[in-house]
Amino acid sequence: MSMNRYLKSILMIVGVAIVLPAPAHAAEPDPLLARVDGYEIHLSEVEEARTLLPPALQRASTPDVIALLVETIIDTRLAATRAKEMGLDKSDEYKQAISRIEGQILKRMLFSQEIEKGITEEGIKKRYADLVENVPIGDELRARHILVESQARAKEVIKKLDDGADFKAMAAEHSIGPSASSGGDLGWFGQGSMVAEFEKEAFSLDVGAHSKSGVKTRFGWHVVRVEGRRKAKTPTLAMARDEIIRQLSSEIGQKLLDGLRENAKVERFKIEVAQ
């Protein structure tokens, strides 16, 4: 199936849902892309619709996606106009559907407004300063491992390594982990990146050394070899910005919800599930 046909099939599924009001606070120019029976379709509406697509389509060729979204919005507007002419917007089915999505839209608008107010450049810089000050920057390791099912098997592997066997070749032949195809290579990682038992073993080894008895985790038994060690670099503000904004957004949203719940009367009832 061609990309255009794939996009069209997806848009047919989500088409009714993608027509959302354009953000009223858009600060940048908002080009007019189409007009259908007097209704103007601007880039902001198309970009809003784009965020509802599957991630793979959001990353697809921008001109293709935008062109197809414009056509889908045109089709949706035309169909909506005909539906209103037929009085479908007066039906109970329509009113129930609108009632269900009204809360979702208002919640999204409320969160967007609170996050926009709550995230400032000063706040981002303060969070970055806290990150640099409070997060210990230690060593990073580059390591390989051979994952096997049992300690006995790990000891067999270690014996061969002690006798001079090549670690990469042994990993490719004996490891049951997904990194076997790359000779057990795990790349560079810092403390807190791996399960505790594995990490303790890896950071206890010198560069060029491998495990002498293996280490057990929930995945099995690992024979670890350290390929390199270096000091971890402190991320720049530019590198950390997106993650900081995600953290602040999450915190603002949770604080908002906590406040709303604190002042609300919430009743819960037993859920009866048919067997």
The owner of tokens 């991630």 is 55
CA dist 189 → 127, 139, 194, 230 (Å) = 23, 9, 8, 10
Structure tokens at 43: 């880039």
List residues bridging with 229 in a β-sheet. Answer: 141
Determine the Cα angle at 187 with ends 185 and 193, to 5°. Answer: 115
Higher pLDDT: 270 or 224? It is 224
Q: How confident is the model at residue 25 (pLDDT cuts 50, 70, 90)?
A: very low
Higher pLDDT: 246 or 56? It is 246
Burial group, residue 223, by CB count within 10 angstroms (0-12, 13-18, 19+): buried
Q: What pLDDT does residue 17 have?
A: 42
List residues bridging with 199 in a β-sheet. Answer: none
Q: CB 127: neighbour CB atoms within 10 A? A: 20
SS3 67: helix
Contact 165, 146 (CB under 8 A): no
Cβ contacts of 185 within 8 Å, gap of 6 or more: 142, 144, 168, 179, 227
- The most confident of the ranges 6-15, 53-62, 249-258 is 249-258
Q: What pLDDT does residue 253 have?
A: 94
Contact 147, 177 (CB under 8 A): yes
CA 83 to chain centre: 37
Cβ contacts of 41 within 8 Å, gap of 6 or more: 32, 33, 34, 35, 70, 73, 74, 77
List residues bridging with 141 in a β-sheet. Answer: 189, 229
Distance, in Å, from the CA atom of 158 to the CA atom of 224, rounded to the nearest integer, reads 10
Q: Which CATH number is associated with domain 138-231?
A: 3.10.50.40
- Model pTM? 0.50
In this predicted model, what pLDDT tens digit does every residue of 61-72 receive, in sequence order? Answer: 567 788 888 999
SS3 216: strand
Higher pLDDT: 137 or 185? It is 185
Distance, in Å, from the CA atom of 167 to the CA atom of 144, rounded to the nearest integer, reads 8
User: How is the chain split into domains, by residue range?
Assistant: 3-86, 138-231
In this predicted model, what pLDDT tens digit does every residue of 208-252 receive, in sequence order? Answer: 999 999 999 999 999 999 999 998 888 899 989 999 999 999 999
Cα within 13 Å of Cα(127), Cβ side: 20
In the chain, what percentage of residues exceed pLDDT 70?
A: 85
The yes-or-no verdict on residue 58 having pLDDT over 70 is no
Determine the Cα angle at 160 with ends 156 and 165, to 5°. Answer: 145
Look over the chain and give the mean of its residue pLDDT values, rounded to a whole number: 86
In this predicted model, what pLDDT tens digit does every residue of 158-215 receive, in sequence order? Answer: 999 999 999 999 999 999 999 999 999 999 998 888 999 999 999 999 999 999 999 9
How do 39-42 and 32-36 pair as beta strands? antiparallel
